[in-house]
Structure 1
Amino acid sequence: MESVGFQTFCVSVNPLVVTKSQVLVSRKVNKVAVWKKTYGVVKKLTMQDNSSKKSSNSASPKLLLAEKLKEKDQSTRLLALVKLCSFEPKEQALELLFKSEVLNSNDVQTRNTAYFVLGKIGNLNCIEKLFHASQHDPDHSVRASACNGIAFIFDNWKQWNPAALNNYSEKAVHMLRIILEDQMEHEIVRYSAIMSLQSLQKEKAAECCVKLLQENQLSELLIRSAVTSIALSDRVSTESLDVVLPYATFPSEVVRQNVASALKKWPNDMQARETLHKLRDEDVSPIVAATAKQSLASILEANFYEIKLVDKQPEPIRTKMHYRDIMEILNGNDRGKKMIAMIELEKDLTVPAYVVYELISPLLKDRYIEVQSLACNVLGFISQQERIGRNEYVVTAAVNALCKVLGDSSEDYAVRAAAAGGLGFLEHCSALNALAKALKEDESWLVRFSCAVSIGNLKQKSSCSLLLEAMEREGCFQEDPVNSEIHMMQQAFISALGEIGCDCAEKPVISLIGSSEPAIRQRVAECLGNMSISETIQQALYFLSKDNNEAVAAAASRSLLKRD
């Protein structure tokens, strides 16, 4: 159109109406195009002229979508398919989808999107098409889309006839299991099968994933989805844990993170806890370590509020402080409050041993020496028979933690001594080597003193010889040592030998009967009372029963009574 300028003109429509308008005139077009505002009849006539042209080209949204679904341009078809998802009514949307033949398109992307849309808008009568495509379509992305579509349909039709829905559901689960168990199938298709199974029946999905994880050379995608699916099950088993645990050392950080998150589903399993501890303390990835720490915290809180039965009545476990309060205090900087909270935990025997261990063990590295030392003592008392949840796993974990502190020369001597004392309270034979090493090598006499006492608490006959050797090294067989530290060491060794009942120590112990220290003579009397009877021991005890010190005489008399 060639524009020649604006002009003002009047159009006479009838004798009564004359309308004025400013228009743009074209030489090639006889009709007048309105440029600005028009009024009255002229506007009406112009609109009628234009609308007549529009009406010839206009079509309903349904017809427009139908045309676009048949377009050769891929993007036009895909956009039309997306619009079908929100097209109402759904019956007409389905009709358009089927008539357009996009489900049979030669274009993979179109076919892929079409099956996705079928799942979104389809009804249960369409599910057979999805079943067929999920197994027989030549392209793996289309098969995966069909698998996803199966779950979409059930999500949309949950309120449908329950009986019919169950029949279709069983068939869908069976079909998806076949796909998942096909090791030759593409990983994307198997992944989609897991997701759809999980949506339909999560217990069946977990069962299938247990089998899946037993396959060799699985992709990272399948491992992650299988581990997650197992963790979502309400009925986790030892078998499922056995297939998940090996992946805790998988090279992929994301897989290890998934495992760390999943293991909280086995809160009472020692292997699961041990694996979480390793992931928390040893994994090179901070993300994995943080996830393991979070899982352990979840287990911890769950166990803290565990229910026990007393006289067949459920009684919730409680302490004077709420779990969250204790956590906040123990993670804080107030030394006094920390120590009070620790004492409360040690006293409350209804708090499970594992919970106590998890709450206290981090404090072995606390900034305050007093807090560290008290933490060692509390861990030692974790093995009390009255403590609920006491088991070999928790005791071993506590022993390992305390042995690590005892062997760390950078720790304060008071903390090392407390760690040695805690090991004695635990009375676990696995601590003997660490105690024997510290007894021989530690520079602090207080640490060596604690080691000697704790070795006696272990009551291992094999430790008698190492105690006697240590006594020799410490100068404990001197007639009257002036050094008060040696007096303390003498008491520790004699008490330890008495706890064990070392008959081989009879002569060395009796040699100290003439000590000027009443405390030493008292320990000798008590020690001899735990040894096998002999004439020499009998005479020594009679001698001590006449001692001028009342405590010594009483100890000897008690030992003699054991012989009667």
Structure 2
Amino acid sequence: MSDAPEEKFSQPDPAATALLAQQLESPNLRDRMVALASLRNVPADVALPSIKKVLNDESLQVRSMAVFALGVKVTPESYPILIDILANDPDYGIRADAAGALGYLEDIRAFEALVRAFYEDTDWLVRFSAAVSLGNLKDPRAFDVLMQALDSPEIVLQQAAIAALGEIKAVAAIDKLVTFIESEDWLVRQRLAESLGQLNTPKSISALKYLTKDSHPHVSAAATICLQRMEAGES
């Protein structure tokens, strides 16, 4: 389970909560979206019934917001609802949202479901979200999956895998990671710098020093910051 600090809220106003619930039933799309956004100020257990109301909304935007809300409004129901959506929703965007929300939960029970989504889902966006969330779980068992993702033809999957390997502290992946140091995609190189910054080894430091001279300012800045953190003992 997540060890994130619990949200702290003042006692919810029943009238305000009732108004939000009413807005979520409005035929006006904007009303429903504003009401969902307003739930960020409501405790998770109070927000959940309202979130559940719109999980099957006719609008994909509203459904997407509701699924995301399940990842940040953590209750005992959040996990099983998201697992069901990831496995069964017909819309790939909603499945991707569910995979991402499971990463926000940081619930280690999601590991197998995310691995299954990575291997079995046919849409790259779902696989991308699954790879990112495997990094969020920080479970070293994700190593083999993420190493396979590095060989994906989709660059965004490579980016996700590079970042996630840093998150799980996969020192054994360094030899493979540094092969991306000359990637034509600057975001790949930036993710590489950020990942190497979490893997404090001589080879990582050498690669980071090289990346500080990268032609793209975001890459060189990321590498410089990572080296400074390493020197300060923060990695």
TM-score by length of structure 2 reads 0.88
- Match of 2:122, SS state, is coil
The alpha-carbon deviation at position 502 of structure 1 amounts to 1.1
CA contact (8 A) 2:100 2:129 kept: yes
1:466 maps to: 145
2:106 aligns with 427
Moved beyond 3 Å, runs of 4+: none
- Of 27, 31, 50 in structure 2, the residue corresponding to residue 337 of structure 1 is 31
The 1:563–1:324 alpha-carbon spacing in structure 2 relative to 1, beyond 3 Å, is: closer
Which aligned pairs between 1:103-502 and structure 2 lie closer than 5 A? 316-318=11-13, 322-346=16-40, 348=41, 351-383=42-74, 394=75, 396-408=76-88, 410-472=89-151, 474-475=152-153, 486-502=154-170
- 1:335-392 CA-to-partner distances (Å, cap 9, x unmatched) read 221111010002x0xx221111222023222222111111011111114xxxxxxxxx
CA contact (8 A) 1:544 1:553 kept: yes
Residue 425 of structure 1: CA displacement? 1.2
- Post-superposition Cα deviations, 1:261-310, rounded to whole Å, max 9, x if no partner, equal xxxxxxxxxxxxxxxxxxxxxxxxxxxxxxxxxxxxxxxxxxxxxxx9x9
Shift of residue 498 of structure 1? 1.5
The amino acid that maps onto 1:489 is L
The 2-side partners of 1:471 and 1:334 are apart by: 43
Determine the structure 2 residue equivalent to 1:302. Answer: none
Q: With the length of structure 1 as denominator, give the TM-score of the two structures.
A: 0.38
In our comparison, the structure showing a higher alpha carbon Rg is 1
CA distance in 1, matches of 2:181, 2:77: 41
Other structure's SS at 1:367 match: coil
Residue 217 of structure 2 corresponds to which residue in structure 1? 550
Shift of 1:401: 0.4
Matched position secondary structure for 2:65: helix
CA contact (8 A) 2:102 2:110 kept: yes
Question: How many aligned positions are there?
Answer: 224
Structure 1: give runs of 5+ residues left out of the alignment: 1-307, 384-393, 476-485
Between the aligned partners of 2:149 and 2:158, the Cα distance in structure 1 is 10
Q: RCO higher in 1 or 2 (8 Å CA, sep ≥ 6)?
A: 2
CA distance in 2, matches of 1:537, 1:325: 54
State the distance in 2 between where 1:539 and 1:324 align: 58
Where do 5+ consecutive residues of structure 2 fail to align? 1-7
Instruction: Give the residue type in structure 2 aligned to 1:328.
Output: Q
Give me the whole-angstrom Cα distance separating, in 2, the residues matched to 1:316 and 1:368: 31
Q: Is the 8 A contact 2:131 2:161 kept in 1?
A: yes
Which string of whole-angstrom CA distances, capped at 9 and with x for unpartnered residues, describes residues 77-119 of structure 1? xxxxxxxxxxxxxxxxxxxxxxxxxxxxxxxxxxxxxxxxxxx
Contact 1:545 1:553 in 2 (8 A): yes
Contact 1:512–1:524 (8 Å) recurs in 2: yes
CA distance in 2, matches of 1:370, 1:454: 21
The equivalent residue for 1:264 is none
* C-alpha separation in 1, matches of 2:150 and 2:55: 30
How high is the sequence identity, in percent, across the aligned residues?
A: 36
| Structure with the higher strand share, 1 or 2 | 1
* Change in 2 beyond 3 A, CA 1:548/1:360: same
- For residue 366 of structure 1, give the secondary structure of its aligned residue in structure 2: coil
